[in-house]
Structure 1
Amino acid sequence: MRRHAIVLALLLGAGLAGAPARAGDATGAYAPYEDLLEVLGDLTWHLRDDLYRFPPPKDPTGHDLYRLALSRLENWEKRYPGRLRDVVGYARAEALERLGEYAKAAAGYGQVAAEGSPLADQARTARDRAAGFAAAAALPEDGPDVDTTLAALRKKLDAWGRLVERWTGTPYETPALVEEERLERAAASVVVRNRTILREGNLTAERALRFLIQKHADSRNLPDHILRLGDLYAEVARDYVEQHERPLAFEEDEFVQRADRALEMYRKVATWDGAREKPEAQGRFAAFDAYKTSVLSRYR
């Protein structure tokens, strides 16, 4: 918290703790704030939020707080050009870093470090950290075919894995975990999309999704991962019906086993109080349960 104490001390020393400068008659979430302390107070309060386990913070208007902070800093800077440039620049870089814009954040920290500000030492440290994140984020994620794409994702995952280890136990571990989870979800999606051309594609896709669920059991995205597994099971059940259209080829027990696996995944999320995916899961459960009933009535 020493860094934030320095920022607030600079503001207080500049007289911003006194009567705030007027911001005109603008209203709404994006209106210029009268007091920069109010903008920085909201941002600073949420800089240590765990974005891996919990959703991004919202302000009372329902907008993303980090994006709002950027807009309000920009509006304040336009109204008071050149005033407290290092404080505003540092705060902007912090918001950009929390939004995953690591290259822009590193550049912003670098500008503050070059200004001879009391924040210069802190800015240099932050610049180096953000630059490391930016280097990992800049690695490619795709290729001309499945194997190349998965290899690119693996290389990028290795880079983010090193950052997770480097920043374990600090507020910067969670952004690295967010990126690691996103890439592993992307890799699983590649496998699911190409399961028909992969060896033992259905089993490989299931393993990829189950790995995602098990590894990221603490993530705020866990309900979504479970829904994705349910979608895979639902597609496998539909594939079975398409491949066994003739009445004598269709085995009810085989179909029911596949369909019930999908319904079980949907049911888990559909009864998950507090999950934002709950209504979506309820809809998927109802729709696929109706599909199951329709198929069974067709072959009985």
Structure 2
Amino acid sequence: MSFFPFIRWFWAQTLIASIFLVSLSACSSRTPPAEQRYAPAGDLLDIVKDFQRLAKEDTYRFPIPKDITGVNIMKATLVRLDDYERKNRGQFTDIVQYNRALALERLREYEQAAELYRKVAEGDGRLGREAAKNAEILDNFLRIFERTIPGDDPFKYIAGLDEKVAAWNGLIQKHQGTPYEFLARVEEERIDRAKVAFVEANRARLKEGDQLVLVGYSQLITKHRSSKNIQRYLLDFGDFYVRLAKDYASQYDPEGLAFDFKIFDQFVKSALKLYSEVAQQDGVVEKLEAQGKIEATRGFLEKLTRLNR
């Protein structure tokens, strides 16, 4: 190769290398550093976009979703909206208040949510009509909460709870297919669980109280089989059977003739069946707890079996 062609070749290669390095630098500049990618969203669109996507989840069947940091999305959104509002005073107030109300209602803070919805409805923004409708729905929720229940008589108390359940069921039917159906189901479920807890706490005062508790748990589990809390209800039901077994063992000496092992064994086996149902479920946090209860109950059964021989 002669000298001048070599010079031309050398500069051509140098130019190509320079272009490659510039392109590589440009590509690198478009990729944000890792810590920047996971920084808290400061733009309102980013906050609302992620929140709206997760806010429609069925909170009766599933727990409230988590954001990328593992925090409750409703609580995280409230913090981010507060931060945005501090940094951007007076900007997009109706959007901020509407989404804050939405997060609050999903957290069952209905009174605060309704108040914010009314503020949005009083403005002239596009969200006013929707906010007014949501406020009216939450007012119906609050009316059920405001109903007083007589506490002087256990049967009147249970009847009062039943009336609230019927009221929530009416809202479930009215808002079928909307997030308010899910919220109403959550409230209905809480009343159903409270009713069983009340009967269980007062079973000694009620005629055939133990049987009423068993019926209550059976109805709770049948009705709310789709609930996110079903595993907890199964464990609680099993715990009650264990309590019955322990009560029986306390009432009748396991080493004496009055102790009927078949009755005791029936209580224990019923508990083990419920615990086992939870222990066989993969991906539930109650699985490990159920396994521990199974071992403890088997140990209790073994001890009483030896004493009764």
TM-score w.r.t. the length of structure 1 is 0.86
Match among 252, 274, 286 for residue 283 of structure 2: 274
CA distance in 2, matches of 1:287, 1:145: 37
- Does residue 263 of structure 2 align to residue 254 of structure 1? yes
Partner amino acid for 1:297?
A: R
How far off its partner does 1:185 sit?
Answer: 0.5
How far off its partner does 1:148 sit?
Answer: 4.0
Match among 112, 116, 119 for residue 120 of structure 2: 112
How far off its partner does 1:143 sit?
Answer: 2.5
What corresponds to 1:92 in structure 2? 100
What corresponds to 2:162 in structure 1? 154
How far off its partner does 1:144 sit?
Answer: 4.4
CA distance in 2, matches of 1:42, 1:234: 45
Q: Secondary structure at the match of 1:124?
A: helix
CA distance in 2, matches of 1:78, 1:32: 15
Partner amino acid for 1:247?
A: G
- Does residue 56 of structure 2 align to residue 45 of structure 1? no
How far off its partner does 1:294 sit?
Answer: 1.2
Q: Which runs of 5+ in 1 are unaligned?
A: 1-26
Q: What is the 5 A alignment of 1:167-246?
A: 167-245=175-253
Please, which moves more after superposition, 55-64 or 155-164?
155-164
Q: CA 1:293 to 1:140, structure 2 compared with 1: closer, same or farther past 3 Å? A: farther
How far off its partner does 1:92 sit?
Answer: 0.5
Q: Secondary structure at the match of 1:213?
A: helix
How far off its partner does 1:142 sit?
Answer: 7.2
Match among 137, 155, 169 for residue 129 of structure 1: 137
What corresponds to 2:30 in structure 1? none
Q: Secondary structure at the match of 1:46?
A: helix
Describe the superposition over 1:80-120 as per-residue Cα deviations: whole angstroms up to 9, x where unpaired.
Answer: 12111111001101111111111111110100111221221
How far off its partner does 1:229 sit?
Answer: 1.2
Describe the superposition over 1:123-158 as per-residue Cα deviations: whole angstroms up to 9, x where unpaired.
Answer: 111111121122223334672453343233223222
How far off its partner does 1:289 sit?
Answer: 1.2
Please, which moves more after superposition, 156-165 or 59-68?
156-165
Q: CA 1:150 to 1:52, structure 2 compared with 1: closer, same or farther past 3 Å? A: same
Partner amino acid for 1:295?
A: L
Match among 301, 304, 308 for residue 292 of structure 1: 301
Identity of aligned residues (%): 38
Describe the superposition over 1:191-216 as per-residue Cα deviations: whole angstroms up to 9, x where unpaired.
Answer: 11111221111111000000011111
Q: CA 1:294 to 1:66, structure 2 compared with 1: closer, same or farther past 3 Å? A: same
How far off its partner does 1:253 sit?
Answer: 2.0
Partner amino acid for 1:291?
A: F
CA distance in 1, matches of 2:280, 2:50: 34
Kindly report the root-mean-square deviation, in angstroms, between the aligned alpha carbons of the 2 structures: 2.1
Please, which moves more after superposition, 238-247 or 104-113?
238-247
Higher helix proportion? 2
- Any conservation in 2 of the 1:52–1:219 contact (CA below 8 Å)? yes
CA distance in 2, matches of 1:119, 1:157: 32
What corresponds to 2:292 in structure 1? 283
Q: What is the 5 A alignment of 1:10-29?
A: none
Partner amino acid for 1:130?
A: L
CA distance in 2, matches of 1:74, 1:145: 46
CA distance in 1, matches of 2:150, 2:165: 13
Q: Secondary structure at the match of 2:55?
A: coil
